[in-house]
């Protein structure tokens, strides 16, 4: 049976990973929202730029609840960038493109994280910093500092990869207030879309409860693993990996 205490136990059982999540979350969420604002600005809506949201300053982007969810569960959201769709030449299409920019930016970041993780591992192998024995991997160093540096660098790249992919997949769900609901605006009749959006706050509470009780863990985990498998296949095509 799922317990929220399991989440805290898993987090605090590995304090280095807990602290490594902080820069990953800040980068993932800030770039996500900046990507929304950048795309909207390119398509003719300068609201985000005028409000100072085209920045990587965390104070401009972080939503307290969404950040906590990201920290605890690996799935979350930031403070939405204000969009005035009437400023777009093609409101429905451009609104959807602006909504998609955030998750796409995280997929790109996830791919970068995976590439860096593989490149770092490749360098460690070629320099003899790591070696395998009895189906286990060992760090070839007598220095505790060097061993920890290698371990936590690899952990950072892996976290950066996984959390960005998780953020992208989660935000593509067609559920308010996530980006996926904005993308669906392109396909739904306007009256139906705005009728659903009237219950955005209620749906958000239900979404938070679903995360809290682990109801989305299995389906989201399956999708994330599928996306990650595709990315790993692509990186595996690089000759020196």
Residues noted as catalytic: 33
Residue closest to 195 by CA, chosen among 208, 176, 173, 170: 176
Residue closest to 103 by CA, chosen among 177, 33, 185, 190: 33
Residue closest to 140 by CA, chosen among 132, 150, 130: 130
Query: Mapping DSSP to helix (H, G, I), strand (E, B) and coil, where does residue 72 land?
Result: helix
Tokens of 14: 């590995």
CA distance 228 to 22: 22
Contacts of 33 (CB under 8 A, 6+ apart): 53, 60, 61, 78, 79, 80, 81, 102
On the 0-12 / 13-18 / 19+ scale of CB atoms within 10 A, 203 is: middle
CA distance 25 to 209: 21
């Amino acid at each position: 049976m799922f317990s929220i205490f399991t989440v805290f136990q898993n987090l605090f059982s590995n304090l280095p990973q807990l602290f490594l999540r902080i820069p990953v979350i800040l980068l993932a969420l800030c770039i996500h929202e900046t990507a929304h604002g950048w795309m909207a600005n390119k398509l003719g809506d300068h609201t985000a730029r005028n409000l100072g949201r085209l920045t990587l300053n965390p104070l401009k982007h972080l939503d307290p609840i969404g950040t906590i969810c990201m920290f605890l569960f690996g799935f979350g959201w930031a403070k939405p960038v204000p969009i005035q769709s009437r400023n777009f030449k093609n409101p429905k299409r451009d609104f959807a493109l602006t909504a998609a920019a955030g998750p796409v930016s995280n997929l790109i970041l996830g791919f970068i994280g995976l590439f860096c993780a593989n490149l770092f591992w490749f360098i460690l192998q070629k320099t003899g910093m790591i070696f395998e024995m009895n189906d286990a991997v060992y760090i070839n160093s007598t220095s505790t500092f060097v061993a920890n540096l290698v371990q936590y660098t690899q952990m950072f790249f892996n976290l950066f990869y996984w959390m960005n992919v998780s953020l992208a997949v989660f935000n593509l769900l067609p559920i308010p207030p996530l980006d996926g609901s904005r993308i669906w605006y392109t396909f739904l009749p306007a009256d139906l879309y705005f009728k659903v959006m009237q219950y955005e706050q209620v749906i958000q509470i239900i979404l938070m409860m679903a995360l809290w009780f682990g109801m989305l863990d299995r389906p989201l985990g399956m999708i994330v693993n599928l996306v990650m498998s595709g990315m790993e296949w692509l990186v595996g095509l690089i000759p020196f990996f």
